[in-house]
Every structure is written in structure tokens, then in C-alpha cells.
């Protein structure tokens, strides 16, 4: 599966060229052994090695919920071991047990053949076990060097900054990466932040590195850089436990694959013996012949008409019609500014010029409140930071945009109505939670995405804009989100889907609008859109760059060249 790159335009405003410079700075220095490293065997034969980490017959329950039941995982030095499973399969619980954040009810842990108890993250650190996550744990006002050594307790009462920066550079050298260790971490890209997290683990003599969805927010080129670093770690004998919902990444980098389902161990196999179909079947317990399936129907009249939409320095000339019951996909490479168009239509970052008509009436959208009153809703790409308030319950999050509707006499919230409404969405969208009083932060990514969409459906929109609706969720939840979008379109809602997953855009969209560096390049009908045509347009070419249809390698190379080349300002 080929995945287009994406960014976080309005969250991390970077000057033009910043990401390009960052990519060049992060590019590993070429050495004489680089080609040999990339051609080296994936990992030594596990039968000839002593496991560096063993979790055997691990069980863990929370009240009446069995999170793990008799799960085992073995990691060897110098291997990349993929851990797969749907959200709720038990991956997060297993990681927390491995890193000392939770204790198992039953089972054993061993490091290098010796039984251990990991009672805290400090114990894990001492034993050489570390984890990095999708959202890096960076202190923005500390320097890169300070972030790398923040967990060290053996550097004395007075910090020798010169020595710390020297050691930080040496640690980054082990990864083949160059960063200014004296600069504040605030200005780092997400990819650089991930690198600092890895350097932090390496500085603690890590033997087992757990990587939980590390690529979810990275561009295609940044993913390649990260994989080069991970391959470097493998050559140094580090055992890497790699967790990702992106199948193409798993099959590119993993040596072995373990699958969990419903808190139980399903299988552990060499990567060569696993197919995408068998992996998905193992995760969901059923055959998934076609992940993205639309029930096509004839759309209704034009609901939203956009002509020559413009925002200075961001995008220009955006023109399209969106019909009732239609799904319009937005595709493009990193820096295409797709998200910025969505933000303009929702009034977060209004356009400077252009015409917008809603159901034949001219409208001027200056802020989100006005957009909501007109019947436009926007589901953000960043559900954790911008979409949901994690400590609040499902019911509270769903009611938030429509709060005035839930106010009773005296201005007090009608909690019974709030809970009843949330319960209706819980059943309709199959949100997996025993109660709508559950905090959103305790839900899996797929269920959080359903709560986020419910929150905006409660506003009864005429136009729904969903930005990266399946980012970071498992294949089963993706099918459910796609089914929901199809159902909404069948009911007559006009939907815009912004996605970096090209197969998703191709399968879900009735038409596809392709952008490049803030400009509209083409609009394809579903029947004429192909991966090659969309990518050709996204790369600024007319026609089809790859007419023979066998373009996978060429597309990857061209995409890599483009991402390194130009137009890499923040945004989509």
C-alpha cells in the first residue's frame, strides 16, 4: 500500500523550506559500510541466539475486562519484531507491563534469561527497556542535549554542559544523525523529536526499544529516515518491538511478526511466512477481502460550491462543487495544503478571497461558530490534541459543540438528555465502551475517532469535512469508519474526506481533487482515477507519468525525490 505524506499545517507553522532543511540535517551521513548495512541479513537465526527479553503467559484484567490472557512474546538481539493487533487487542497493556507502568496478574518476565520484576519505569530503564510513542515526550524549552539526558541521575550535582553536549553529539553519531544539540527542542520537526527520543533511549544503554506507532505523523521521506535509524540500531544488537497499523511498513522492516487478538496470542511467524491477508485475518478473526467498499449511488443537487478560493501564501484557485450524498476526496503530497482548505471552509483560518455558496446562497465564513450555524462541520486530523478533551467523558465530548441545546432551566446542563444523546451515538457507531461516562482518554484510537465524528454529527451538519479519519486506527476500526462515511453519504450528507492514504481516497471518493503546493491540479471522477494518475497530478505533471501501471518503484523514488526537493512548508 502506498501512503501519501501528511503534515500538521496549522499546529506547527514552519517557514518555507524548514522541513526540507530538517530532512537534510537528519539524513544519515554516508559511510563506506552503508550499502553493506542495507544488504545485511534481516537478523540472525533466533535459534542461534539467546533471547534478550521474554514475556511468558502474561495475564492482566481490569475489573471485569480481561486485557491480556496467557500472552507470550520473545525478543532477540538485533531483530525488529512487529506486534500487530486491532485497537483493544492488548498491545498497549503489554507495553505498559514491559516498561513497568503496570503489573501483570500472572506470568513471568525475563531479561537475558534472568527472571525480573519491572515495578516502575525506573526499573525498566535500569534493565535496558525503553519505549517511544506516536507523540514524542519532548520538553520544548530544554535543549536537545538536555532532552537526551533528562532521565540520567548519574551526571553529578552540577551539570557539565560542555560534556553533556559532547555526549549528546556522540549519541546522535551512533544513529548517523546531525542535530544542533544546544538549540531548544521547540523548533524540532516531529521526525527530529522522534530521533531525540531514540537518542534518549540509546544514551541509557537500551537493549529493548519499543516503538509504538512512531510513523503515524511522519511524512514518507521522514519514515524512510526513521527506518534507516532503526536498521542501524538492529545492526548494533538492539531488539526493536515495532507497533504499527501500516501494513506496508511492517512488511518492509520487520523480521518476525506477532499477532494479538482480544487480549490473546494468535501467532508468531517470520515475516516471510506472513501475508497481508493472513495478518488481517489473524487480527480481526475474519476474512477481509475488501477493506474499502462503497455503495455507489447518484448524488443529489449541488450543496457546496467553491470558486477561486484563495488565502495569501497558502492556497489559490481552489474551485469545486460538492453534491448532496457525494464524497469528495482531497489528495496530495506533503505541503499540498489540503488541510488548510478544510480550515478555511470551517472558519479557523478564513480565506482572503473567493466565492462560497451553500445551497445556492452566498456565504462568508469568518469563524467556526458561523460555519456551524451554516451547517458545516470539521473533524480534525489530531483527535487527541484538538478533537477531544481526553479527561472528559464520551457524553461530555459529544455534547460540547451543541452545548446550548442541552441547557435546561436556569442554564444548568440536562445530564439525562446529554447521556441519552451520547448513548444513541454509542449504539449507532458501535463505540466500544461499557458506559458513555467513560473518559475519552481511556478509549482505543478507533473508538476515539468514532466519538469525534459523533460530536460533529450531533450538530446535524449539511457538509461534513473529515481530516485523516483513519489515521492511527486498526483495520477493523477503519472498515467501521468507512462504513459510517458511506452511510452518511447514502443519507444525503455531503462529505469531504482529506486523507494521506491513497488507496483510501481512491476507494471512498466519488471524485478526487488533487492539490500540489496550495494549487488545484486536477479533479478525477471515481471511474477514471488511478493511483498513477493521482500521483502524477500531485507531482505537478499533466497526464500519466506511469501509463504502464507498474509504477510502484518509480512512484516511491519520485515521491522521495519530491519530498526532499522543494515545497515542504508545513501544511497539507
Three-state SS sequence of 419-460: HHHHHHHHHHCCCCCCCCCCEHHHCCHHHHHHHHHHHHHCCC
Cα separation, 190 vs 195, whole angstroms? 9
Cα separation, 28 vs 532, whole angstroms? 30
Percent of all residues in the chain with a pLDDT value above 90, rounded to a whole number: 45
Top-confidence residue, 313 or 477: 313
pLDDT at 157: 67
Q: 8, 553, 1, 25: which is closest to 334 by C-alpha? A: 8
Cα separation, 452 vs 387, whole angstroms? 6
pLDDT at 291: 52
Cα separation, 207 vs 226, whole angstroms? 18
- pLDDT surpasses 60 at 558: no
| pLDDT average, residue stretch 523-547 | 76
CB count within 10 Å of CB 80 equals: 26
**pLDDT band for position 238 (cuts 50, 70, 90):** very high
pLDDT at 348: 95
Lowest-confidence region among 7-11, 501-505, 551-555: 7-11
Three-state DSSP state, 383:
helix
- pLDDT surpasses 70 at 35: no
Element (H, E) at 339: helix 338-345
Q: 83, 84, 87, 90: which is closest to 65 by C-alpha? A: 90
C-alpha cell recorded at residue 487: 452511510
pLDDT at 117: 94
CB 88 within 8 A of CB 244: no
Walk me through the domains of the chain, giving residue ranges and CATH numbers: 51-284 (3.40.50.300), 302-551 (3.40.50.300)
| Residue 419, φ and ψ in degrees, nearest 5 | -65, -40
C-alpha cell recorded at residue 131: 519505549
- pLDDT surpasses 70 at 572: no
- pLDDT surpasses 80 at 317: yes
- pLDDT surpasses 70 at 548: no
Top-confidence residue, 132 or 448: 448
**pLDDT band for position 546 (cuts 50, 70, 90):** very low
- pLDDT surpasses 70 at 91: yes
**pLDDT band for position 198 (cuts 50, 70, 90):** confident
CB 284 within 8 A of CB 261: yes
- Ramachandran sector of residue 57 (left: φ over 0; alpha: ψ -120 to 50; beta: rest): left
User: What pTM was estimated for this model as a whole?
Assistant: 0.59
Three-state DSSP state, 92:
helix
CB count within 10 Å of CB 96 equals: 17
Length of the chain, please? 572
Lowest-confidence region among 142-151, 185-194, 496-505: 185-194
Which residue reads 508545513 in cell numbers?
A: 570
**pLDDT band for position 21 (cuts 50, 70, 90):** very low
pLDDT at 205: 81
pLDDT at 472: 72
Top-confidence residue, 158 or 166: 166
CB 398 within 8 A of CB 451: yes
Top-confidence residue, 470 or 293: 470
Per-residue three-class SS string for 113-148:
CEEECCCCHHHHHHHCEEEECCCCCCCCCCEHHHHH
Lowest-confidence region among 228-242, 284-298, 411-425: 284-298
Lowest-confidence region among 274-283, 337-346, 513-522: 274-283
| Residue 435, φ and ψ in degrees, nearest 5 | -155, 150
CB 540 within 8 A of CB 38: no
Q: 378, 435, 433: which is closest to 401 by C-alpha? A: 378
- pLDDT surpasses 80 at 486: yes
Q: What share of the chain is helix, strand, coil (3-state, %, to 5)?
A: 40, 25, 40
- pLDDT surpasses 60 at 163: yes
pLDDT at 287: 52
DSSP alpha helices (H): ranges in 491-547? 502-508, 531-538
| pLDDT average, residue stretch 136-142 | 85
pLDDT at 262: 83
- pLDDT surpasses 70 at 237: yes
| Residue 402, φ and ψ in degrees, nearest 5 | -110, 25
Cα separation, 413 vs 432, whole angstroms? 25
pLDDT in tens, 379-438: 998 888 889 999 999 999 999 999 888 988 888 889 999 999 999 999 988 898 889 999
**pLDDT band for position 359 (cuts 50, 70, 90):** very high
CB 421 within 8 A of CB 458: yes
What is the distance in angstroms between the CA of the first residue and the CA of the last residue of the chain?
Answer: 20
CB count within 10 Å of CB 6 equals: 28
Over the chain, what is the mean pLDDT?
A: 81
Parallel, antiparallel, or unpaired for β 376-379 and 463-467? parallel
**pLDDT band for position 219 (cuts 50, 70, 90):** low
- pLDDT surpasses 80 at 64: no
Amino acid at each position: 500500500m502506498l501512503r501519501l505524506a501528511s503534515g500538521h499545517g496549522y499546529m506547527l507553522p514552519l517557514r518555507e523550506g524548514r522541513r526540507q532543511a530538517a530532512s537534510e540535517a537528519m539524513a544519515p551521513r554516508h559511510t563506506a559500510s552503508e550499502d553493506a548495512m542495507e544488504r545485511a541479513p534481516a537478523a540472525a537465526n533466533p535459534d542461534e541466539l539467546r533471547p534478550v527479553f521474554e514475556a511468558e503467559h502474561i495475564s492482566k484484567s481490569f475489573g471485569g475486562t480481561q486485557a491480556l490472557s496467557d500472552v507470550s512474546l520473545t525478543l532477540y538481539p538485533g531483530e525488529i519484531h512487529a506486534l500487530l493487533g486491532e485497537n483493544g487487542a492488548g498491545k498497549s497493556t503489554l507495553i505498559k507491563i514491559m516498561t513497568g507502568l503496570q503489573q501483570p496478574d500472572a506470568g513471568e518476565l525475563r531479561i537475558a534469561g534472568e527472571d525480573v520484576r519491572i515495578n516502575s519505569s525506573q526499573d525498566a530503564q535500569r534493565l535496558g527497556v525503553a519505549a517511544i510513542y506516536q507523540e514524542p515526550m519532548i520538553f520544548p524549552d530544554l535543549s536537545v542535549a538536555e532532552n537526551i539526558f533528562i532521565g540520567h541521575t548519574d551526571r553529578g550535582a552540577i551539570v557539565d554542559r560542555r560534556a553533556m553536549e559532547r555526549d549528546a553529539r556522540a549519541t546522535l553519531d551512533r544513529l548517523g544523525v546531525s542535530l544542533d544539540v544546544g538549540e531548544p527542542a521547540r523548533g524540532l520537526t516531529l521526525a527530529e523529536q522522534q530521533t531525540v527520543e531514540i537518542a534518549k533511549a540509546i544514551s541509557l544503554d537500551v537493549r529493548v526499544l519499543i516503538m509504538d506507532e512512531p510513523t503515524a505523523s511522519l511524512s514518507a521521506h521522514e519514515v524512510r529516515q526513521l527506518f534507516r535509524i532503526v536498521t542501524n540500531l538492529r545492526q548494533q544488537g538492539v531488539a526493536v518491538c515495532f507497533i504499527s497499523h501500516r501494513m506496508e511498513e511492517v512488511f518492509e522492516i520487520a523480521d518476525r511478526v506477532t499477532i494479538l487478538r482480544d487480549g490473546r496470542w494468535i501467532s508468531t511467524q517470520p515475516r516471510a511466512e506472513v501475508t497481508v491477508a493472513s495478518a488481517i485475518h489473524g487480527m480481526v478473526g475474519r476474512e477481509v477481502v475488501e477493506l474499502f467498499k462503497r455503495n455507489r449511488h447518484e448524488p443529489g443537487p449541488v450543496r457546496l460550491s467553491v470558486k477561486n478560493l484563495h488565502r495569501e501564501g497558502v492556497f489559490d484557485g481552489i474551485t469545486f462543487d460538492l453534491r448532496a450524498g457525494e464524497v469528495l476526496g482531497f489528495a496530495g503530497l506533503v505541503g499540498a495544503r489540503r488541510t488548510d482548505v478544510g480550515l478555511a471552509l470551517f472558519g479557523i483560518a478564513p480565506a482572503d478571497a473567493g466565492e462560497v455558496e451553500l445551497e445556492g446562497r452566498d456565504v462568508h465564513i469568518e469563524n467556526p461558530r458561523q460555519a456551524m450555524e451554516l451547517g458545516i462541520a470539521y473533524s480534525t486530523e489530531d483527535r487527541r490534541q484538538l478533537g477531544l478533551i481526553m479527561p472528559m467523558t464520551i457524553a461530555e465530548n459529544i455534547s460540547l459543540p451543541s452545548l446550548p441545546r442541552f441547557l435546561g432551566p436556569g442554564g444548568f446542563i440536562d445530564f439525562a438528555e446529554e447521556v441519552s444523546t451520547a448513548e444513541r451515538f454509542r449504539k449507532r457507531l458501535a463505540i466500544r465502551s461499557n458506559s458513555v461516562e467513560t473518559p475519552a482518554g481511556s478509549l482505543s484510537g478507533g473508538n476515539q475517532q468514532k466519538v469525534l465524528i459523533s460530536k460533529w454529527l450531533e450538530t446535524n451538519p449539511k457538509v461534513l469535512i473529515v481530516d485523516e479519519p483513519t489515521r492511527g486506527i486498526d483495520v477493523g476500526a477503519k472498515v467501521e469508519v468507512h462504513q459510517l462515511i458511506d452511510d452518511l453519504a447514502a443519507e444525503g450528507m455531503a462529505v469531504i474526506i482529506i486523507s494521506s492514504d491513497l488507496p483510501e481516497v481512491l476507494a471512498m471518493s466519488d471524485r478526487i481533487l488533487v492539490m500540489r503546493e496550495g494549487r488545484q491540479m486536477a479533479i478525477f471522477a471515481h471511474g477514471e482515477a488511478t493511483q498513477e494518475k493521482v500521483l502524477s497530478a500531485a507531482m505537478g505533471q499533466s497526464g500519466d507519468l506511469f501509463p504502464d501501471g507498474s509504477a510502484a518503484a518509480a512512484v516511491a523514488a519520485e515521491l522521495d525525490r519530491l519530498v526532499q526537493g522543494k515545497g515542504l512548508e508545513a501544511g497539507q
